[in-house]
Amino acid sequence: MKRVLTIAGSDSGGGAGIEADIKTITALGAFGCTAITAVTAQNTLGVAGVHPLPAEFVALAIKTVLDDIGADAVKLGMLANEAIIRAVAGALPTNITLVLDPVMVATSGAVLLEEGAVEAMRQLLLPRATLVTPNLPEAQKLTGMPVGTEAERIAAGRALLAMGAQAVLIKGGHGGEDILTDYLITADTLEAISLPRIETRNTHGTGCTMASAIATGLAQGMTMLDAVHRARNYLQEAIRTAPGFGAGHGPVNHLVRA
């Protein structure tokens, strides 16, 4: 059994963050460990409050897990502020498989990363990322480039490669197209992964779920392309079979089989 360490915030509603990560990692057959960066009070209607943990405690949690249990891959989610980003960068070994989900804004619109922390993410984490998985607003924020067209999305992905990431997955969920297309970009390859858009309000935690599913696949020895395809199919089915909880953006069904 492979080990995946997720470093992210806790979602009291259970649909995103650490909770989504642990469910996904378990559903896909790996063992999940955690370092919690922040606790949130939230439900499907929005985020009522965010309480970041002390950066030194986040670093201690990472070190404590890695020193004993270890990890075959690490997934980074909500990091909240610059101090936590710096602590995470300092606590992680340089040679570990790292999937960076650059969480900045919740599905409900709540800001989950302080403005001043974006540059720290660019400098300290992007160059360490085996894969970075921005949605369209995140890709635009990280690069300062437009992402309205296919060509612009690919160009933004290549800009993230130039910042040091080994691979980039530009996710198309925030676009308006009926066919949702993600672009997996490396120095040598470009792969477009297209699936029909499911019209639903149940999309809470999809970014967390996708990134942790990919990290699990990489930990299990899958190629990047195979890990992304399995994760995309798993998420598609999880959205399709969502339980429909809450009055807002509901959670997906993490119990589906990939």
| Domain limits for position 150 | 3-240
The tokens for 40 are 């949130």
pLDDT, position 113: 84
Query: Is residue 162 included in any domain, yes or no?
Result: yes
The answer to whether the pTM exceeds 0.85 is yes
Q: What percentage of the chain reaches a pLDDT higher than 90?
A: 91
**What CATH number has the domain bearing residue 86?**
3.40.1190.20
90 is catalytic: no
Please state the rounded mean pLDDT for residues 105-123.
81
The reported pLDDT for the residue numbered 116 is 81
Please determine, for residue 23, whether its predicted confidence score (pLDDT) is greater than 80: yes
Pick the catalytic residue: 17, 171, 172, 216?
171
Per the DSSP assignment, residues forming a β-bridge with 38 are 52
Kindly indicate the confidence band of residue 108, based on its pLDDT and cuts at 50, 70 and 90: low
Given a cut of 90, is residue 174 above it in pLDDT?
Answer: no
Measure CA of the first residue to CA of the last residue in the chain; give whole Å: 17
Mean pLDDT of the chain: 95
Pick from 180, 182, 184: which is nearest to 195 by CA? 180
Reply yes or no on whether 207 is catalytic: yes
Known catalytic residue: 164?
no
Look at residue 208 and tell me if it is in a domain.
Answer: yes
Q: How many domains does the chain have?
A: 1
247 in any annotated domain: no
Q: Is residue 257 part of a domain?
A: no
Segment 33-58, tens digit of pLDDT:
999 999 999 999 999 999 999 999 99
- Whether 218 maps to a domain, the answer reads yes
Is 186 considered catalytic here? no
Q: Which of 6, 34, 206, 209 is catalytic?
A: 206
Residue in 15, 172, 207, 250 annotated catalytic: 207
Catalytic residue among 23, 44, 141, 208: 208
**Which of 203, 209, 216, 250 is an active site residue?**
203
Residue 33 annotated to the active site: no
Let me know if 203 is a catalytic residue.
yes
45 lies in some domain: yes
In-domain check, residue 254: no
Task: Check 205, 209, 216, 250 and give the catalytic one.
Answer: 205
